Amino acid sequence: MTRRRDAHFRLDDLLIDMEERNQGLDWPLAVDVWLERLVAQARGAGMLTTRKELSAALLTWHQPSDDDLVDLLRTYRRRSGRDLLDAPLNAPNVVSFERHGPGPRRAIRQQEQG
């Protein structure tokens, strides 16, 4: 078993300047498509960003109360890919998922429902 080394940070440091820790997250494919769309949206709004930065920004956007966490988890557990991706009821029920290797992408294509 490999032990993690101790890490430290100063409270006054900006989050974007802190040492990083890989979270090794696995999440539903629809969430990944949603994140790609948000990165493209941010870039379209003039904010050059990455999936990693945007994910961290979304996670730290709001300090939830206990009730917020309960509501958040309850809503997530009841949500479908159609809901998340705001797909109309007449859209095909299958979405093709394009796998990407690590690193930046030259162009981000919007996933189509179909």
Residue 103 has pLDDT above 90, yes or no: no
What pLDDT, in 10s, does the model give residues 35-87? 999 999 999 999 999 999 999 999 999 999 999 999 999 999 999 999 999 99
DSSP string, 34-101: HHHHHHHHHHHTT----HHHHHHHHHTS----HHHHHHHHHHHHH--HHHHTT--TTS-S--------
Residue 90 has pLDDT above 60, yes or no: yes
pTM of the model: 0.75
Map out the domains of the chain as residue ranges. 27-81
Predicted local confidence at residue 112, as pLDDT = 40
User: What's the mean pLDDT when you consider all of the chain?
Assistant: 86
Predicted local confidence at residue 111, as pLDDT = 42
Percent of the chain surpassing pLDDT 90: 62
